Structure 1
Amino acid sequence: MNDISLDVPADLLLPESGTGPGIVLFQEIFGVTDYIRSRAQDLADLGYVVLVPHLYGRLGDPVVEEGGDGLPRAMALLEELDWQQAVEDGVAAVAALREHPSVEGGVGVLGFCFGGGMAFNVAAVARPAPDALVSYYGSALPNLLGLAPDVTTPSLHHFGDSDAYLPLATVRDIERAVTEGHDDVTVRVHPGGDHAFDNPSPMFHHAEASATAWEETTRWLESHLPVEAPATRR
C-alpha cells in the first residue's frame, strides 16, 4: 500500500493493526535493497507505520548488488547524488508521514550507513523535529558534526569497534559531538563489528553485533516511540 505523495518513489508499510507511530527508514548506499525492505518489514511487524523514500529516485532509482564491484559502483552513484536535495526529500517524507491517517503518535527516523547520516541531517533541520533518531554507523557523520547542536531529538547510535571506514577514534569524536549538551543520546559500540555489520551480505555481516544492535534498537524504540496496545488506542 502506498498512498503518500512525494517527489521520489516511496514504500509505505502498515502494521497488522493498521495504525501506529511512524518511522521513516533511510536506505544504505546500495539503494532500497531487499535488505532495507526486510528491515522495513521488521519495523512494521513491531507495530510501526514505515515509510521508505527512495533517495536515488531522482537518479533513476537504481539498486546496486553488494557483492563484486557493487561497492565502487555505489560510491560512484553517491557522487552523483545531490545531498541537500536528498535531505529535502527526507524532510518531506517525515512531514508526509506525520500527516498520514494511519500514524498515531510520533514519527521517528532510522537509517543505515548512508541512511544513518541522512537521518541525522534530517533530524537537524526538520521542523517539527523527529521524535526519535536511530543511526547505524552513519558514514557521513564525521562531515555533519557541525549540525550536532541542532539535533535535539533523542537518539541511538550504533557502531562497530572494527569499522574500517569509521575507526574507533573517529567514533569517539562522533560520540563527543553528539552527546555534548544533550541528555538523551545513547552510543553503542559493538565488538567485532565492521562497517555495515547489520547487512546480511557475507562481506559485511557480523551476526552477534547485528542481533545485539537490533535488540537494543527495538527496546530503545519501545521507550522513545512506544507502540500502544490496540485496546488502549483511541
Structure 2
Amino acid sequence: MDDHGTDKDQRSKGLGGLDGLVVPPFSRRGFVMTSLIAGFTLAEANAQAQVVTTDSAGLVAGEVKIPAADGPMPGYRAMPEGAGPFPLILVIEEIFGVHEYIKDVCRRLAKVGYCAVAPELYARQGDLSKMTHVKAIVRDVILKTPDAQWIADLDAASSWAIADSKADAGRIGTMGWCRGGRGAWLYAAHRRDLKAAVAWYGPLGGDRTELQPKTAGDVATDLHAPLLAIYGGADTGIPVASVEDARDRANAAGRSVELVVFPEAPHGFHADYRPSYRKDSAEQGWARALAFLKSHGVG
C-alpha cells in the first residue's frame, strides 16, 4: 500500500484507523457540481465590510479539476510561484462549499509558502452554489455525504497535488472550519502520514449514522497526528467542556491535542464574511495555527 491512501486494498477494507469506514459505490449520476461557487455562498446574505481579500500576486491560484474515483472533482489550489516542493495543506470547507472565503484562505496559506488545496467535498450530493437555506444544506447535502467518501476525496486531492503541483509528500497537514473542523479530527484519525491538523470550532458530537458512523469525539483517542483545536468560548453549539474532554482523552491515550479557547468568540469567528467574525480572535488563531503547523514539520 502506498502512503497516500489511494490503494485499492485500503478502499475495500476501510480507511486508515477508522474501522468500518468503507468507501461506498459512487453515485452513477457523478458530480452535481462541476465548478466552484463564484463569490460567496448564497446561504449567508449578510456579507460584511470586513471581508479579507488576499491577492494572487506571486502565486499560482485558481480552480482546478482533481482526478477522483468517478471523474474530475472541482477544487481550488493556491501555491507560490516556483519549483517547490511546497508543504501541502488540505483545506476542508465549511458546509457552504468552496466559495470565496475558502478560496481566500488557500491564498493566505500560499502567501506563507504552502500549496493549499480545497476540494469541493459535497460536489456529488448537491449544488451548493444554488442553495440559500442552511437547514436544507445540512439535511439534503451534509448529512447525506458519507464520511468515507470525503476522506477518500481528500486522499485523492493529496495524491494529485503531490503529482501535479510538486507538493511535498513528507509535509502534509490539514485545516478545517466548522463541519470541516470535524473533518480535521476524523482525517487525523485516518491518515497515518499526516504531520499536523488544525480544527477550527468543529463539532465533537452529533448523531451516528450508517453514512457517518463516528463523531469527532469518538476518534480523539485514535489520532495519528498532533491536532490544534481552536474554539470559541461563546459558541452556543459546542460546549468547551466537550472539547476539553476530547483533549484530555486524547492526551491520556498518548495522542497530542492542544486546545486554544477565545473566551468571547462565537461560532464561526474566523469567517470574515459573516457577522460572527471577530477580528482579534481570528488573527490570533491564525497565527497560532501557522506556528503549530511549522512546529510539527509542515512548513
TM surpasses 0.5: yes
Which moved further from structure 2: 188-197 or 138-147?
138-147
Q: What secondary structure, in the 3-state scheme, does the structure 1 residue paired with 2:105 have?
A: helix
Q: State the TM-score, normalized to the length of structure 2.
A: 0.67
Name 2:42's counterpart in structure 1.
Answer: none
Q: How does 1:6-17 map to 2 (within 5 A)?
A: 6=68, 7=71, 8-17=73-82
What aligned pairs does 1:18-33 form with structure 2 within 5 A after superposition? Answer: 18-19=83-84, 20-33=86-99
Give, in whole Å, the separation in 1 of the partners of 2:146 and 2:171: 28
The CA deviation at 1:109 is: 0.9
Aligned partners of 1:145 and 1:178 also within 8 Å: no
Pick the structure with greater CA Rg: 2
1:139 maps to 203
Structure 1's 42 and 101: CA in aligned 2 closer, same or farther, altered over 3 A? Answer: closer
Deviation, 1:188, is 0.5
Shift of 1:223: 1.8
Give the conservation status (yes or no) of the 8 Å contact 1:94–1:130: no
Shift of 1:183: 5.4
What pairs with 1:192-231 in structure 2 (closer than 5 Å)? 192-227=264-299
- Find out whether 1:37 has 2:103 as its counterpart: yes
Change (3 A) 1:141 1:98: farther
Cα pair 1:160 1:192 within 8 Å, conserved: yes
Tell me, yes or no, if the aligned pair for 1:131 and 1:225 is still in contact at 8 Å: yes
Unaligned runs of 5+ in 2: 1-61, 207-214
Counterpart-to-counterpart distance in 2, 1:95 and 1:145: 28
CA-atom RMSD in angstroms: 2.3
Residue 38 of structure 2 is matched in structure 1 by none
CA–CA distance in 2 between the matches of 1:182 and 1:44?
A: 32
Residue 103 of structure 1 is matched in structure 2 by 167
The equivalent of 2:125 in structure 1 is: 59
1:231 matched to which residue of 2?
none
Residue in structure 1 matching 2:138, options 50, 65, 75: 75
Determine which of 41, 44, 67 is the counterpart of 1:5: 67
Structure 2 match to 1:94: 158
1:36-94, CA deviations, whole angstroms, 9 ceiling, x for partnerless residues? 111111001110111111011112442478xxx64323322322322332222223323
**Closer/same/farther in 2, CA of residues 168 and 49 from structure 1, 3 Å limit:** same
- Which is worse superposed, 103-112 or 79-88? 79-88
The 10-residue stretch of structure 1 (177-186 or 164-173) with the greater mean CA deviation from structure 2: 177-186
Shift of 1:116: 1.1
TM-score normalized by structure 1?
Answer: 0.84
Partner of 1:232: none
Change in CA separation of 1:64 and 1:29 when aligned onto 2, cut-off 3 Å: farther
Match of 1:217, as an amino acid? A
Residue 211 of structure 1: how far off its partner (Å): 1.1
Post-superposition shift, 1:151? 0.8
